[in-house]
Each structure stands twice: as structure tokens, then as C-alpha cells.
Amino acid sequence: MPPLTDAELKQLMAQLAKVAGLELSDERVERDLVAYKGHLAAIEKIRAVPLPIEAEPFTRLRKD
Amino acid sequence: MSELTRRDFLSAATALPLTQAARASSPSTDLPYLSLTEAAALIKARRLSPVELTQAILDRIDRLDARVGAFITVTRDEALRAAREAELEIARGRYRGPLHGIPFGVKDTHYTKGIRTTANTPVLLDFVPDFDATVVARLKAAGGVLVGKLKLPEFSFGSAGEGGAFPDAKNPWDLSRTPGGSSSGSAAALAAGLLTVATGGDTSGSIRNPATFCGVVGMKPTYGRVSRRGIVVISWSLDHVGPMTRTVADNAMLLNVIAGSDPADDSSSALPVPDYTRALQRGVRGLRVGIPKPAQFEGYHPDVMRAFAAALEVYRRLGAHLSELDLPATADLIDDVQQIVRIAEAASYHEPFLATKADRYGQTSVRRDVEAGSLITAVQYLRAQKVRAKFTDELSQAFRGLDVFVTPGMPAPAGERMDAKQPFRRMFNACGFPALVLPMGFSTSPEGLPLGLQIAAKPFDEETIYAAARAYELATEWHARRPPLAAG
């Protein structure tokens, strides 16, 4: 999928915020854009890790 | 019992032998730099009054904290009252243990009953908890004397920075440089002799980073070893609370006090807490020490690499076996995983603040980061958690043939350019394994800034870390140096 433009990302942010119950003004969306792009870049890298279908999201630490 | 005088308290000492660690006499100017081990021995032997020690600390705070800026709140009256109570109890023969009568400070994320807890944010500027964090309660129950609440960047976000409710602390080794963070005040206060011991919090390296930059000892224990109850949250699954001190022995003593199961924190471990001080004399002969491969030091400062090579030589000389460790491939993106888990959990914690107090955030990136974090989906968060679990499993396997894994504490000295590919810091928040830093030398360019050595181990094996750290400390003298400010 081609990367989203800043305008598309801002539109997406406003919509996601709305369904999350978060009031984000246009000014806030503008300010938050850089952070959201940083999160998306990290998510993209994480998505590239192959995981088996059995992979679980939580572990409990044990003493050897 | 009639009111106790200092002379009454100290007079008992004439009949008591000094312990090996205690000094025959300590000029009052040295009291703030007494280690916990030294101060506890003197207090137990009634050769040092808790009130005298607390007053010496408070006097030094008065003299120097305007320059260091380590404290948000100094609890002067409460401290002197607690010190007098400790003195009275000890005089009556009810000595509680090594923390009795010892001045301590906590990061201003720790709830303190009746004392404001700001997390250095305007959002919580008027927040006065009605209970103590479990860590604070345990320190008080051990007879510790709370002297104050320590600085951090707003809500503990980031390793340093201005824009919160109060200016951040400064590095006592060079007041123009950052002390690191986010437990900036804890590390700065210890280095400047403004406290005997302290605690900090570590979500992304926030104990180990400032401990390195300020030349003190900081332990991030295994996740679950120390209760998080009553600590302002960044991220429930990544937050750790740990001891910060000037020596390794002090650190072990402090962890003895704060570690252990807490019914009020479901993430705390039920495993019994050993006496960590018993590991201090073990030595490292035959210890299996893992080290990173050379390629993983890309971007490290030459002074850090020189000091690290010298530290490895110390371990070789002491009889440890060194071998290079193949880190799992997922280690290369564990900082990305940590970022998503941290910010998604932080966004959830901040949800009520964003709904009702969004305009009160400071002039920092916190509001921006948590607002953007609110847009991460559950599936994205859980995928990060799955990769985190995979990394933890793979690192557990990689650690099987090792006792400890050592790295530099930070890739460069305080305030210098940091663009290392692998900082070896957040990975131990992600997997929850214990990791400690201690002084490893000083930079030459720029001159005189502390460098740190990080020692990590398997889950719940803090004892082996203390054994390795103490052996290195005994073989070097870095921990004994004081910043130029110390003479002030």
C-alpha cells in the first residue's frame, strides 16, 4: 500500500480520535501529526516480524 | 521517657564497639556523603544521631539545591520529626534495621500521604494522595526519614527536558549538562550529597540513564520484584521501581527493604525475597559474562568504549569467563516495540486527563505523544506485545549459557551526541529482566563526566548482578569520586 499523504493522515487522525471519544481540534491534529507518524513507522517495522498463529501477547517471568 | 537529648543518644556509644565500616569520628561536612552502610553502622552503635544526619542533609540542600535543582518538595518538618522519632526508638532499644534513621528521597511519582505528588506536571500540581505508595510505606516502616520528593521531566516522559511544572534538575558534575532521566532528581541528589539513598522509576531506562550520567548506582529490578502500587503510571507493563544509591552494597540493602509481594499490586511477584547483601562477597571467579558483539557498538563514544574495554579487563583479571553473545534478531526493533506498548498504555492512563484537563499539560511533548498514542489500535498494540513476548523468550534462551550480560550504561557521556544503533536499555524494560548500572570511569573529551557499566541477568537473579557489581566496585575507585560541587 502506498504511504498516506499528510492530508490523508490528518483526516484519519481526526476520524480515529472521534471514535475514540477524543476531541482533537485541527490545531491539535497538526501538532500531533509528527508523533503519530513516529508511531506508525514503529508499527510498520513491528508488522514485518513473522509470527506463528499460536503467538501469544503476554508472558510471565519465571526464575530458573 | 523524658525528652532525649543528642548527648543522651550518643553517650551510649562509649560502651559500644565501632563496626568495621563505621568511622571513629566524622566531620559534619562529611555526613551527607556517608554511605548507607556507614551511616547505619554509626546509628546502630549510637555514634551518630539520626537528627544530626538529617539536619546535615537539610543544611546541604539549603546550600546547594538552588544550583542542582534536585527537589520539587523538601519535607523539612516531617523529616526532622521522623528523625527525632527514630532517635527515640533506637535509644529505647528498638532498632528496626539499616534504614532506621536514614534520610531518603523518592521520585515525585511516588504517592506520599498528605504530601503533594506532582510528577512535575501542571495536571497534578495540586494532587495530594491519601495513601503512601507501597515503596514509601516500606521505607517508612523500616524507619527511613523522608526528606523530599525528587525531580523528573513531566510525567516521567523522556530522558530529560524542561517545560514541566518545575525546571528539571542539573548534573552536579557539570551544571550546564543534563543529569539524564527521567529519575533526574534522584541521581543528581545522590551525586551532590543531598541524600543518603533514593528511589527512581524505570520504563525506558529512567533509573539507569541518570545513574550513569551522575556516577551513581541504579538498579532496575525484575518486573514484579518491587511493587508499583501508588506510582504515577507511564505504562503498567513496562514501569519498574528501583533503588538508587552511591554504592553497590547500599543498593542491595535498599532493595532488601522495598522488594517483595504486594497484595495491592497484582503484577508483583510472590517469589520470596533473598537477602541481597549476602551475594556481595561472592566474587566473580568462574562467572560467565556475556558481552555484545563489536558490531553492536556502532555509534558509541570512544571514551565509553575505552572504559568498557578496561572494565572487561577487570573481570578477566578477577577470573570471570567472557564470551560474545548473539542477541536475538528481534533486539534490533525492540525499541520500536517498547515505544508502541509504552505509548498505547500511557494513552489509556491519560484518557481521563485528556478528557478533562488537556489544557493543563506543560510545554512538553507529553500531550502530543499521548494524543497520538490514543490512535493506536488494539490489534497494533497486541502485535507489539506478541513481538515483545517473542523477544523475551528468545533472550531467555540466549541467556541460558550466561550468568550476566554486561554493556556500557549509556553510549556517550551526558549531553553528548547519542546516535547508537543499540543502546541496550529499553530491551530490559521490554523483557523485564533485572539490570543495574554503576560507575565505570570518566570521560576525557569532554573531561570529567561519569560513565556507567550495565550488568543484566536472568529474571529474579539480582543477587548475581550484585555479586558482579560489587566485585568490579572493589577493584576500582570510580564510586569514591565526588563532583566539584561536593566541596561547596
Q: Would residue B182 show up in a list of annotated catalytic residues for this protein?
A: yes
Residue B436, class by beta-carbon neighbours within 10 Å (0-12 exposed, 13-18 middle, 19+ buried)? buried
Closest by CA position to B213, among listed B200, B224, B228 = B200
Per-residue pLDDT at B2 exceeds 60: no
Cell (9 digits) for B242: 528501583
Put simply, whether B385 touches A (Cβ < 8 Å) is yes
Per-residue pLDDT tens digits for B208-235: 999 999 999 999 999 999 999 999 999 9
| ipTM of this complex | 0.96
| pLDDT for the residue B20 | 38
Residue of B nearest to A16 (CA): B375
| pLDDT for the residue B170 | 97
Residue of B nearest to A10 (CA): B372
Average pLDDT over residues B368-376: 97
CA B108 to chain centre: 13
Cell 534520610: give the residue.
Answer: B103
Pairwise CB contact (< 8 Å): B386 & A57: yes
Reduced to 3 states (helix: H, G, I; strand: E, B; else coil), residue A61 is coil
| pLDDT for the residue B161 | 79
Single pTM value for the model: 0.95
Average pLDDT over residues B412-440: 95
Reduced to 3 states (helix: H, G, I; strand: E, B; else coil), residue B146 is strand
Per-residue pLDDT at B4 exceeds 80: no
CA B428 to chain centre: 15
pLDDT category, B297, cuts 50, 70, 90? very high
| pLDDT for the residue B12 | 63
Average pLDDT over residues B347-369: 96
Reduced to 3 states (helix: H, G, I; strand: E, B; else coil), residue B466 is helix
Average pLDDT over residues A33-49: 97
Per-residue pLDDT tens digits for B465-488: 999 999 999 999 999 999 998 676
Q: A28-42, B13-27, B97-111, B433-447: which has the minimum mean pLDDT?
A: B13-27
Cell (9 digits) for B144: 527511613
Give the contacts of B358 (CB within 8 A, at least 6 positions apart).
A23, B367
Per-residue pLDDT at B3 exceeds 80: no
Q: Would residue B140 show up in a list of annotated catalytic residues for this protein?
A: no
pLDDT category, B24, cuts 50, 70, 90? very low
Residues 237..276 of B with a Cβ closer than 8 Å to A: which? 269, 271
Average pLDDT over residues B84-100: 98
CA B178 to chain centre: 16
Measured in residues, chain A has a length of 64
> Rounded distance, CA B409 to CA B454, Å?
5
Q: A20-24, B171-175, B367-371, B426-430: which has the minimum mean pLDDT?
A: A20-24
Q: Which residues pair with B331 in a beta bridge?
A: none
Please count the CA atoms within 13 angstroms of the CA of B42 that sit on its side-chain side. Answer: 21
